[in-house]
Amino acid sequence: MKIWWLTIAALLAGCAEKTGDYFPGYAEAEYVRLATPIAGTLSKLYVSRGDKVTQNAPAFVLEQESERAARAEAASRVQRAQAQLANLQKGRRPDEIAALQAQLSQADASLQLSASNFARRKQLVAEKFIAPANLDEARAAVERDQGRVKELRAQLRVAKLGARSDEIDAAQQELKAAEAQLAQADWRLEQKSQRIPVAGDVNDVLYREGEFVQAGSPVVSLLPPQNIKVRFFIPETRLGAIRLGQDVILQCDGCKSSVAAKISYISAAPEYTAPLIYSKENRATLVFMIEARPAPGQAQALHPGQPVEVHFSGAKAQ
Q: Per-residue DSSP letters for 2-66?
A: HHHHHHHHHHHHHHHHHHTTEEEEEEEE--EEE--SS-EEEEEE---TT-EE-TT-EEEEE--HH
Residue 85 has pLDDT above 80, yes or no: yes
- Say what the pLDDT of residue 115 is: 84
| pLDDT computed for residue 10 by the predictor | 39
Q: What is the pLDDT of residue 161?
A: 61
34-64+191-222 adopts what CATH topology? OB fold (Dihydrolipoamide Acetyltransferase, E2P) (2.40.50)
pLDDT band at 213 (very low <50, low <70, confident <90, very high): very high
The total number of residues shown for the chain amounts to 318
Residue that wins the pLDDT comparison between 11 and 69: 69
Q: What is the pTM of this model?
A: 0.64
Count of Cβ atoms closer than 10 Å to residue 5 Cβ? 10
* Segment 144-190, tens digit of pLDDT: 878 888 887 877 777 666 556 778 888 889 999 999 999 999 999 99
pLDDT digits (tens, 9 = 90+) for 243-273: 999 999 999 888 888 999 999 999 988 887 6
Yes or no: say if 77 and 177 are a contact pair by the CB < 8 Å rule. Answer: no
Most trustworthy range by pLDDT among 54-68, 73-87, 255-269: 54-68
- State the pLDDT at residue 160: 67
pLDDT at residue 313, rounded to an integer: 63
Segments making up each domain of the chain, as ranges: 20-30+224-311, 34-64+191-222, 71-185
Percent of the chain with pLDDT over 70: 84
Find out whether 222 and 198 touch, Cβ atoms under 8 Å.
yes
User: Is 7 a residue whose pLDDT tops 60?
Assistant: no
Among 30-39, 86-95, 191-200, whose mean pLDDT is lowest?
86-95
204 vs 119 pLDDT, higher one: 204
> What's the pLDDT score for residue 44?
96
Sign of the torsion angle spanned by Cα atoms 43, 46, 51, 55: negative
Which CATH number is associated with domain 20-30+224-311? 2.40.30.170
Mean model confidence pLDDT for the chain: 82
| Overall average pLDDT of the 218-224 stretch | 96
| Residue 105 pLDDT > 70 | yes
More confident residue, 214 or 7: 214
Confidence of residue 112 (pLDDT cuts 50, 70, 90): confident
Let me know if the fold of 20-30+224-311 is the same as that of 34-64+191-222: no
CATH of domain 71-185: 1.10.287.470
Question: Averaged over 78-85, what is the pLDDT?
Answer: 91
| pLDDT value, residue 87 | 78
Return the closest-CA partner of residue 45 out of 196, 189, 171: 196
Lowest model confidence (mean pLDDT) among 40-54, 89-103, 132-146, 223-237: 89-103
Q: Which residue has the higher pLDDT, 66 or 121?
A: 66
| pLDDT over 70 at 211, yes or no | yes
Is residue 20 predicted with pLDDT exceeding 60?
no
d(CA 45, CA 315): 46
pLDDT given at position 25: 92
Q: Quick one: pLDDT at residue 315?
A: 45
- Cβ-contact 250, 261 below 8 angstroms: yes
